């Protein structure tokens, strides 16, 4: 058997199969998912000569994965509970198309034992682990029991389902705060809350149950100790149906926000060879205990002394699998397909490579300048950096969107997974920063500036990180990376050059640089003439070997680079003198209004007219993109009017309630 080794080429372009159809694998597979992971699976299947079937909801009729697949089947309305989570509809799609196997991606039905059983009942292979392994390891409570029996280090806590809030309070009191409330069927940060004191526990339980029910159809919860100063490091395992299991090194996933991974890398900057080996061997031991076959991830919490504790096992392909592929030169999707077809693993543990360093940044449709609130709408511009390998650096972009497409309120806010690979960690980080500067998105809010700010953060670059990194380094939220002196000069020069070019193109007077005054966010900055590569209308300007994102704004330009953002106003000297005399317009006072922070659905309104509310009390809960957002009172207030009720769909800045 020829194994498709993963270099840059397999992920750039979609030209024809590398392996012939019928190479001991399936002829046609169905992908029971959407978005970037569906597109990712289709790419490998196409190269293996395997035909693909996409499924789609009403909201995804024009989605990229539908366009890429050989066939597509409609499976229901937009809400995932009525489409992507309905087993019978996926099974019927297999019958209708003759698909021999199903790849579930991640999320949705990927870890549902009932789904694998339903496929087996009609003779369709599940491209994932066997049903017993899913049952044993896919359930967070049962997997912890099994890990204890297998002598694997586990986090202190109650090994079982909590019965109610009183039971949870008792457990938390016994093991001590802080604790984690976690969904047994959870994943991707859904149904997980960190609780620091007893007064937060009831709301955490309610939100975790609601999210778990909506995302997984299972609201069982458990409680365990939250390890302080933790790192989240996971081991990728791969098994076959012949008893072979190997570990494919580790991924560092400590950069998280609200328990959702934001940046991942491989290997970890913290592990030494001995700890890597010990964690890998424990992960393999756990996998073999349930005859695990396929890709899976054993997640560990690692403390500052490199003590590691088993958290859970995800019985599926992980979102962050590309960094493992880039550092091992393996295609995990291909290995999963071959394992499901009954083929043996083509490598032993001694064959597993650790080549260079890879970083993945998750590009989300969210506004980091407004508390990371979800953003929906049309992608007016979507221009990712070129996927290429040059000078020892690889850029890869896994995505499921396209320019002109819609970011829906119904699903996860991920736009793309941008990855870079280089010989060293510093080179991979620098390559990521450059690639993020080249990534242009318009029409919705996104987190690219935030990701880039982290790439330039001294603490991140040093590798001294924990899962609390974002909370500790951005305690008041993200307000952009502060402009340094060099950036101010570059931005001012870029704005000046753009203004002069635009004036000349419009047939204006032959201005010189000294005729203009440039201000950045109201501060006058000395600009210089600079050699640039730019044409009016281009979203990117190249200046002094750097890439600056540039867009017109009233009187000037909005400029971004390296996580820094500013508004540059360029005026003639006379216009600047007159502008200084203009009165300032005061912003509207919204202090007595609770505005909806994002488009979403009202889950609950927790107060009523006339009620006196204390600062910190919950006012309402709004759900957007499968996540619940709890809106709390910033100070003591009295509720004057309530404009929304449970079940209402609200737009951004709709008034939920008014205060006296």
H or E segment at 567? Answer: strand 564-572
Q: Which of 522, 634, 525 is nearest to 579 (CA)?
A: 522
If DSSP codes are grouped into helix, strand and coil, which group holds residue 260?
A: strand
Q: For residues 147-162, b (16+ Cβ closer than 10 Å) or e, as one string?
A: beeeebebbebbebeb
Helix and strand numbers (H, E) in the chain are: 17, 38
In DSSP notation, 60-81 reads GTT-HHHHHSSEEEE---SSGG
Burial of 63 (0-12, 13-18, 19+ CB in 10 A): buried
Query: Crossing angle for the helix pair 425-438 and 448-455, nearest 10 degrees?
Result: 150
CA distance 654 to 595: 5
Active-site position among 36, 211, 224, 312: 312
Please, which residues have CB within 8 angstroms of residue 84's CB and are 6 or more apart in sequence? Answer: 32, 33, 34, 55, 57, 75, 108, 109
Please, which residues have CB within 8 angstroms of residue 332's CB and are 6 or more apart in sequence? Answer: 236, 238, 248, 295, 317, 321, 324, 325
In DSSP notation, 335-383 reads HHHHHHTTPPPS--GGG----SEEEEEEEESEEGGGTTEE--EE-SEEE
Q: Which of 234, 360, 239, 327 is nearest to 289 (CA)?
A: 239
Vertex 100: Cα angle to 95 and 105 (nearest 5): 100
> Which token pair is 532?
């640039």
Paired sense of beta strands 28-31 and 101-103, if any: parallel
Taking CA atoms, 154 is separated from 151, 182, 233, 510, in Å, by 9, 15, 14, 72
State in Å, rounded, how far the first CA of the chain is from the last one: 73
Helix/strand/coil percent split, the chain, to 5: 30, 30, 40
Q: Which of 356, 192, 177 is nearest to 261 (CA)?
A: 192
Q: Which of 400, 327, 396, 374 is nearest to 601 (CA)?
A: 374
Q: Which of 360, 364, 450, 361 is nearest to 415 (CA)?
A: 364
Please, which residues have CB within 8 angstroms of residue 304's CB and are 6 or more apart in sequence? Answer: 229
> Is 312 designated active site?
yes
Q: Which of 471, 110, 476 is nearest to 260 (CA)?
A: 471
Burial of 589 (0-12, 13-18, 19+ CB in 10 A): exposed
Chain-centre distance for alpha carbon 5: 26
Please, which residues have CB within 8 angstroms of residue 307's CB and are 6 or more apart in sequence? Answer: 153
CA distance 147 to 286: 7
> Which token pair is 642?
């309530």
CA distance 618 to 207: 12
What letter does residue 562 receive in the DSSP assignment?
T
Q: Which of 282, 195, 190 is nearest to 233 (CA)?
A: 282
The catalytic residues are: 312
């Amino acid at each position: 058997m020829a194994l498709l080794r993963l270099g840059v080429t397999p992920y750039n372009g979609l030209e024809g199969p590398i392996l012939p159809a019928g190479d001991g694998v399936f002829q046609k597979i169905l992908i029971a998912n959407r978005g970037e992971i569906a597109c990712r699976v289709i790419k490998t299947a196409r190269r293996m000569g395997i035909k693909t079937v996409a499924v789609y909801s009403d909201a995804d009729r024009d989605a990229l994965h539908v366009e890429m697949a050989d066939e597509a089947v409609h499976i229901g309305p937009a809400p995932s509970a009525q489409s992507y989570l309905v087993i019978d509809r996926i099974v019927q799609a297999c019958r209708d198309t003759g698909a021999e196997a199903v790849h579930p991606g991640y999320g949705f039905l990927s870890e549902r034992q009932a789904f694998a059983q339903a496929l087996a009942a009609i003779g369709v292979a599940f491209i994932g682990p066997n049903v017993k392994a899913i049952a044993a390891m896919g359930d967070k409570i049962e997997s912890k029991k099994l890990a204890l029996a297998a002598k694997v280090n586990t986090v202190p806590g109650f090994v079982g389902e909590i019965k109610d809030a009183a039971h949870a309070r008792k457990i938390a009191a016994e093991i001590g705060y802080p604790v984690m409330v976690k969904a047994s069927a959870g994943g991707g940060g859904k149904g997980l809350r960190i609780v620091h004191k007893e007064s937060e526990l009831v709301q955490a339980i309610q939100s975790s149950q609601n999210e778990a029910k909506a995302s997984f159809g299972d609201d069982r919860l458990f409680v365990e100790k939250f390890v302080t100063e933790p790192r989240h490091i996971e081991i990728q395992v791969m098994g076959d149906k012949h008893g072979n299991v190997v570990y494919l090194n580790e991924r560092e996933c400590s950069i998280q926000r609200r328990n959702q991974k934001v940046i991942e890398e491989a290997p970890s900057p913290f592990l030494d060879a001995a700890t890597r080996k010990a964690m890998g061997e424990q992960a393999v031991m756990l996998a073999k205990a349930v005859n695990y076959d396929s890709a899976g991830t054993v997640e560990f919490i690692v403390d500052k002394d490199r003590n590691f504790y088993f958290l859970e096992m995800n019985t599926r392909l992980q979102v962050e699998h590309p960094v493992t592929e880039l550092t091992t030169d393996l295609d995990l999707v291909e290995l999963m397909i071959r394992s499901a077809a009954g083929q043996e693993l083509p490598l032993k543990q001694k064959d597993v490579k650790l080549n260079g360093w890879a970083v993945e940044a998750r590009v989300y449709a969210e506004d980091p300048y407004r508390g990371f609130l979800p953003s929906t709408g049309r992608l007016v511009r979507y221009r990712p950096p070129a996927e290429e390998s040059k000078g020892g650096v690889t850029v890869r972009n896994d995505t499921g969107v396209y320019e002109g497409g819609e970011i829906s309120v119904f699903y996860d806010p991920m736009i793309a997974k941008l990855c870079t690979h280089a010989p060293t960690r510093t080179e991979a980080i620098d390559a990521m920063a450059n690639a993020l500067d080249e990534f242009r998105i318009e029409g919705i809010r996104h987190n690219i500036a935030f990701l880039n700010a982290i790439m330039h953060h001294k603490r991140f670059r040093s590798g001294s990180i924990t899962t609390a990194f974002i909370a500790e380094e951005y305690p008041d939220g993200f307000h952009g990376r502060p402009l340094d002196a060099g950036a101010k000069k570059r931005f001012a020069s870029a704005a000046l050059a753009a203004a002069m070019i635009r004036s000349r193109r419009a047939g204006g007077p032959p201005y010189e640089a000294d005729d203009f005054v440039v201000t950045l966010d109201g501060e006058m900055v000395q600009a210089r003439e600079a050699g640039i590569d730019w044409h009016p209308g281009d979203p990117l300007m190249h200046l002094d070997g750097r890439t600056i994102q540039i867009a017109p704004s009233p009187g000037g330009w909005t400029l971004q680079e390296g996580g820094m953002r500013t508004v540059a106003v360029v005026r003639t000297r006379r216009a600047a003198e007159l502008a200084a005399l203009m009165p300032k317009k005061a912003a509207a006072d919204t202090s007595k209004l609770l505005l909806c922070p994002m488009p979403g659905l009202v889950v609950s309104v927790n107060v009523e007219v006339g009620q006196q509310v204390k600062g910190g009390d919950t006012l309402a809960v709004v759900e957007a993109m499968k996540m619940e957002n709890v809106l709390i009172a910033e100070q003591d207030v009295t509720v004057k009017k309530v404009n929304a009720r449970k079940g209402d769909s609200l737009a951004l800045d709709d008034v939920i309630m008014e205060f006296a």
